[in-house]
Structure formats: C-alpha cells, structure tokens
Amino acid sequence: MADQRVAPSAPVNRLRSLNHVLDILEALHAHGPDVGVTDLAREVGMTKSSVHEILANLEARSYVARCGSGRYALGIKLAELGFAVERERGITDAAAPYLKRLATLAGESTHLSVYDIGEVVYLNKVTTPHAVQAYTTIGGRAPAHCVATGKAQLAFQEPGLIEPLLATLERYTAATITDADEMRRELATIRFQGFAVNAGEWRADVVGVAAPIYDFSGATVAAIGISGPLFRFTLETAREYGPEVAGIAAEVSGLLGYQQLPRSPSLASTTRS
C-alpha cells in the first residue's frame, strides 16, 4: 500500500461514529480499490474489529463493495450519488443564463427546481428588483402538487410514482387541487400544452408558470418557471407566458442533449380519467 496517510477528521459536535465512516470512505478513495481491513485500520487509527463492523454496514447498503477476501473498494451507491450531484450541477449551469433571460423578459422572479418524492427543491433563482416578490430560497422545498415547477415535473413521472402522491394531496389554499381525479386531469392538460400554471395553490397571493426540462434520454430532470405576486403577475399573464417558458425550457433541454419530443409514460392512464 502506498505511503499516503489520510488524517482522521476531528469529530464535529461529537459525531465520532460518523467521522469514522467518512475517514474509511476517504481512505478507500485515496488508495484505490482492493484495500484490506488491516491497512484501513492502520490508516484511520481504529481497531480492525471496528473497521470491519463499519464496512459490513456500508457493504449492505452498497457504499462499499468486497473485492476479495477481506479487501474492499468504494461501492456503486457512491457513484450514483456523485452522478446525481454532477447532473444537478450541470442542469444549474445550463439553465443559469436562461433564468436571467426569463427574469428580464417577465420582470418577475424565476426559479429552477428538481423533483424529490412529492416535493421540489430549488436549485437556483433570479430575483426581481421589485420590493414585493414571490419568496423562495435556494435549497428550499415546496409541495410539488401546488407549485408550477412541481406540477410541470409531476406530469411526466411514472404512474407508479404519482399514484401514492394523489392519495395524499394536502390543501394549502382554497385553490389547491386535492382531488385525485382533478389532479390527473390537470397533469394531462400540462402534458398537452407543455407548461404548468400555479393559480395561487401554494400561497394564495402568488401565481406561477413553469415548463419541464428533459435530459438526453428524454427523462424530466428539472423545471424552469416564473412566479410573482397576484396583484402584478395575474393568472392570465402567467398563461400568456406559458409558451415562452416552454420554449426556454426546450432550449435548456437541448443543452442537456435532448433531441426528441417527450413521450409521457402516464398519458394513457390519465387521459382516460
């Protein structure tokens, strides 16, 4: 094994066990595949039994993989997480100038979000210079079924992912869609017109419009949209901006390698509702 040491991390807030896990993963990364328990224990300053116990748990969840008798390498789960980070970073970088363009065009705040199990997570935003504006934070979350960027992505999810969500649609305003059949019709409309509208469904005084972004495989990976206060950005205005937002989303999709029209996996099941 190369004479390259990985200094054990100092515990933060007494999370000693977590730091031990991270030290082991970093040691595996530093020294490449096929590392033995004895070498790892020496590297991170732990007993062999403790290292073996941590590795067994990491292996069970695919964060490490066994290469041979008593030897380990980083696992596929870390590759999956790394790919997800790179994908989101790529989406954010690709969409950044289009968020600015859309904000300039509409004079309102613009947002980029990704879908995460019934919610959206905001990756980026451009704020309007107006004192009164729709408020979001980068890294913040919102329920997907009642914001425009969320509905734009829900419309193209697999039915198996959507149906459990439809059974638990929470109401936030008088305009929130909480009936499953009504939501299926709403999602079918979004697929037909290519954009989604939030008619004050998350915050009664905020309206939004958004369109989905696709990657090279045709999968829906994000959504880009505009939102603003109802007194200035009306529902009619949002709908008028719909085709423009869809066109900008298509340009971002093109940068991600998307070339064909989206094919919805759930179109048939929803249009029959």
**Per-residue pLDDT tens digits for 176-227:** 999 999 999 999 999 999 999 999 999 999 999 999 999 888 899 999 999 9
More confidently predicted of 99 and 78:
99
Least confidently predicted of 40-49, 101-110, 226-235, 262-271:
262-271
Distance CA 27, CA 39 (A): 10
Phi first, then psi: what are they for 44, rounded to 5°?
Answer: -100, 0
Q: Which residue has the tokens 């950005």?
A: 233
Q: Which residue has the tokens 């989406």?
A: 91
Residue 271: per-residue pLDDT: 34
Distance CA 162, CA 142 (A): 16
Residue 270: per-residue pLDDT: 37
- Mean pLDDT confidence for 85-111: 86
Residue 111: per-residue pLDDT: 95
Domains of the chain: 16-74 (1.10.10.10), 84-271 (3.30.450.40)
Angle at 166 between CA 164 and CA 169, to 5 degrees: 115
Q: What's the helix, strand, coil split of the chain in %, to 5? A: 45, 20, 35
DSSP β-bridge partners for residue 97:
none
